Chain A
């Protein structure tokens, strides 16, 4: 493994580790699957590093890798098997104290995202990150009108949920 490649990997992860966390929390509600998903995303980011070039925004590239892994990730739901077990070592540690005042709202937000199907989750995550419909369509390779329909449907679901 070259030193430059490893350093680039660490730099990208250090700056954008939040993307991995947000995608993993959106796609896995149980923490054991989430930890597996984080590992798989980080392994794929390392594997895909050769495809990264300046033509992409690094966040777009990272979102693509993370979403592709998350959508194809098969959730084994280990929560029952490991219910008395604590995860000893986590790849991403999240200091809940600093976020505690928002945690209730955030939990509700993630709970809503968790209820969506995997493709709608991807659309919503990119929308929340501020990507426009053309960029979302390009990242999924679907039509802009399809993205627009999916966003309208998500809005309706949200309306029903909060009504």
Chain B
């Protein structure tokens, strides 16, 4: 069989399909009424909830900063963590906007790009968490203040502060190196490929593979 014979067979098949097929309108109606269960709508709901969570964190941190305003380690920590939470909030809002704009009647390349941006969200949040890793002591200082009312930083000996600063600097270098490598084109690397699969899931890997297939001439 060659492609022309295949085409003739396909066209005969297409003509017959209309006679052979029937549409279950009752089930169709049910699906329409359950439209909220479609994949995209579920994602919009998930990102909205995530955004709401970030909003609560941002509002809570601002409340703490304003009510305890002074140049202490817990307040500075709250300000630092607020920057990350605000970035997370902006990311969630951006996702909801993008998701509600996805148009499946666009050419395949455009739709794939939009869907990759949506499915890469897990990786973006992971990068944001990684970026906050060098500031890990901010979580500790704020936690101690909120739970036990102790300003841990003021009680620390100078040598301990230097050790934590060195650990943060090492984290900073490692995180910068890793984030620099966390690109889809580096998925052939075992660690990066594994992170993409584990963090963003197989759906993103599938979309990226299709995008690569599209580019291949």
Q: Which single member of A91, A109, A120 contacts B10 (CB below 8 Å)? A: A109
| A-B Cβ contacts below 8 A, count | 161
Asked if A93 and B1 sit within 8 Å, CB to CB, the answer is no
Partner of B214, one of A64, A119, A128, A138: A119
Q: CA of A72 to CA of B9 in the docked complex: distance in angstroms?
A: 27
Chain B residues whose CB sits within 8 angstroms of the CB of A127 once the complex forms: 3, 7
Neighbouring A residues of B21 by C-beta, 8 Å: 17-18, 21, 92-95
Knowing A52-B105, A109-B9, A139-B108, the reply to whether A119 touches B25 (Cβ < 8 A) is no
Asked if B185 is at the interface (CB within 8 A of a chain A CB), the reply is no
When chains A and B are docked, how far (Å) is the Cα of A139 from the Cα of B35?
Answer: 26
Interface residues of B in 1-58 (CB under 8 A from A): 1-3, 6-7, 9-14, 16-25, 27-28, 31-32, 35, 38-40
Q: Could you tell me the distance between the alpha carbons of A67 and B2 in the complex, rounded to whole angstroms? A: 24
Please state if B20 and A67 are interface contacts (CB–CB under 8 Å). Answer: no
In the bound complex, residues from chain B placing their C-beta under 8 Å from that of A143 are 217
Q: Is the CB of A92 within 8 A of B106?
A: no
Given the complex of chains A and B, what is the CA–CA distance between A38 and B4 in angstroms? 28
Residues of B with C-beta under 8 A to A120? 213
User: Is B175's CB within 8 Å of the partner chain A?
Assistant: no
Q: Is B110 an interface residue (CB 8 A)?
A: yes
Known: A120-B213, A140-B214. A106 touches B9 (CB 8 A): yes
Cα(A21)–Cα(B13), bound, Å: 11
Contact-size category for A = 35 or more
Q: Smallest Cβ distance from B204 to chain A, in angstroms?
A: 10
B28 CB contact (under 8 Å) in A22, A40, A91: A91
Report B202 CB to chain A, min CB distance, Å.
Answer: 7
**Distance A141 CA – B23 CA, assembled complex (angstroms):** 32
Q: How far is the CA of A40 from the CA of B19 in the complex (A)?
A: 23
Cα distance A154–B2 when bound, in Å? 10
- Judge if A83 is at the interface, Cβ distance under 8 Å: no
A13: Cβ under 8 A from any B Cβ: yes
User: Can you offer 16 A-B residue contacts whose CB atoms are under 8 A?
Assistant: A10-B25, A13-B28, A17-B18, A18-B14, A39-B31, A40-B38, A89-B27, A91-B23, A92-B24, A94-B17, A106-B13, A128-B7, A140-B108, A142-B215, A145-B217, A146-B217
Residues of B within 8 A of A (CB): 1-3, 6-7, 9-14, 16-25, 27-28, 31-32, 35, 38-40, 103-112, 115, 202-203, 206-207, 210, 213-215, 217
A interface residues, Cβ below 8 angstroms from B? 1, 10, 13-14, 17-18, 21-22, 39-40, 42-44, 46-48, 51-52, 56, 61, 64-65, 67-69, 71-72, 74, 89-96, 98-99, 102, 105-106, 108-109, 117-120, 122, 127-130, 138-143, 145-146, 149-151, 154-155, 158-159, 162
